[in-house]
Amino acid sequence: MKPKVYITRRIPEQALEVIGGRCEYRMWDKEDEAVPRDVLESEVQDVDGIFSLLTERIDERLLDLAPKLKVVANMAVGYDNIDVAACARRGIVVTNTPGVLTETTADLAFALMMAAARRVTESERFLREGKWRTWSPMLLTGVDVYGATLGIIGLGRIGQAVARRARGFSMRVLYTSGSPHPELEAELGVERRSLEGLLRESDFVSIHVPLTEKTRGMIGRRELALMKPTAVLVNTSRGAVLSEQDLIEALREKRIFAAGLDVFETEPLPQDSPLLELGNVVLLPHIGSASIGTRTKMAVMAADNLVRVLSGKEPLNPVTL
């Protein structure tokens, strides 16, 4: 008998073929709507595997409802949506999709830096709204990226990829990390700082840590107050690493120059969020890894991990505690 799998969203055909070859699957066959919790809870009861997205909370309660579950394959590098400890206690393997999205996400972090610094989306709105009357010397002026100091919080795969890009812009690059990385310092020309030191010295700050109990809320009022009034903050990691309320106040009072956000404390961003009222923030709907090629690779990678575990093999990308 083939193992049973639940897929929580319509995924690319290539990934479905991988799963369909070895498993019997049911799928929440919608592209733009997350599976409702009650549907998820009833669908998982007889499954051996779940193909999940970051929109699904795989918590103790859900695991209780899925006694046969052996693997949760998340189509994301981040896995803060999954209670990994609870899975480990039950012998359920959790997998993620590291590596394939590194460069694509670093591209977007850079795009946000540039867009926020040079007021790209604000300028486009200005033009579309018919406000462009004439060229004028200080109209929509921003801050320079070239030659500035970039502070990278978390020098993992994506942080390193952002550092590499920064070299092309002749930026000085600082980083924070739990431990020093002398080899990377030599290779990338980056310098380690304390978080406080990095926030004080940087013209751009880009966040590249996973969301854990340690990083939750790590950038708040106190940290924002250390930043330069001309600095730009970019977040492509997880919204909850940053206190959104404290950032809103800093942006409103122009205590920093601008921000670029791809992730939020609540996703989708509520339509009454004060962020939507602010001109000095670029807002994107969590598209860090959203190139056609990368999203396809992520789906196939998650499918491969799922099928490997259900075939009694080691997964390629296990998440460990």
Phi and psi angles of residue 154, each rounded to the nearest 5 degrees, phi first = 95, 105
Which is closer to ligand GLV, CB of 102 or CB of 176?
102
209 lies in the binding site for ligand GLV (CB under 6 A): no
Shortest Cβ distance from residue 205 to ligand GLV (Å)? 19
112 lies in the binding site for ligand GLV (CB under 6 A): no
8 lies in the binding site for ligand GLV (CB under 6 A): no
Helix (H) or strand (E) holding 174: strand 172-176
54 lies in the binding site for ligand GLV (CB under 6 A): yes
**Contact stretch for ligand GLV (CB under 6 A) within 2-10, 18-26, 71-79, 303-311:** 71-79
* Gyration radius (Cα) of the chain, Å: 21
Give yes or no: 286 in active site. yes
**Contact stretch for ligand GLV (CB under 6 A) within 73-81, 213-221, 223-231, 306-314:** 73-81
Give yes or no: 238 in active site. yes
Question: In this chain, which of 243, 289, 305, 317 binds ligand GLV, going by CB under 6 A?
Answer: 289
DSSP 96-134: ---STTHHHHHHHHHHHHHHHHTTHHHHHHHHHTT----
78 lies in the binding site for ligand GLV (CB under 6 A): yes
Cα distances (Å, whole numbers) of residue 11 to 6, 70, 288: 12, 21, 18
What is the size of the binding site for ligand GLV (CB under 6 A)? 7
Which is closer to ligand GLV, CB of 14 or CB of 45?
14
Which is closer to ligand GLV, CB of 47 or CB of 209?
209
76 lies in the binding site for ligand GLV (CB under 6 A): yes
Which is closer to ligand GLV, CB of 77 or CB of 224?
77
What b/e sequence results for 133-147 when a residue is b if at least 16 CB atoms lie within 10 Å of its CB, and e otherwise?
eeeeeeeeebbebee
Alpha-helical segments (H) within 175-285:
182-188, 195-201, 221-226, 244-252
Which is closer to ligand GLV, CB of 240 or CB of 278?
240
Cα distances (Å, whole numbers) of residue 157 to 104, 105, 164: 12, 10, 11
Give yes or no: 216 in active site. no
Catalytic residue of the set 118, 193, 208, 238: 238
**Contact stretch for ligand GLV (CB under 6 A) within 76-84, 110-118, 145-153, 180-188:** 76-84
Question: In this chain, which of 3, 154, 288, 315 binds ligand GLV, going by CB under 6 A?
Answer: 288
247 lies in the binding site for ligand GLV (CB under 6 A): no
Q: Which residues, 6 or more positions from 104, have their beta carbon under 8 angstroms from its beta carbon?
A: 288, 289, 290, 291, 293, 294
63 lies in the binding site for ligand GLV (CB under 6 A): no
Alpha-helical segments (H) within 178-277:
182-188, 195-201, 221-226, 244-252
Phi and psi angles of residue 125, each rounded to the nearest 5 degrees, phi first = -60, -40
Dihedral sign from CA coordinates of 134, 138, 139, 142: positive
Question: In this chain, which of 101, 174, 198, 310 binds ligand GLV, going by CB under 6 A?
Answer: 101
DSSP annotation of 316: S
Catalytic residue of the set 118, 193, 286, 308: 286
Cα distances (Å, whole numbers) of residue 297 to 13, 161, 204: 11, 18, 30
Q: Interface residues with ligand GLV (CB under 6 A)?
A: 54, 76-78, 101, 288-289
By annotation, the residues acting in catalysis are 238, 267, 286
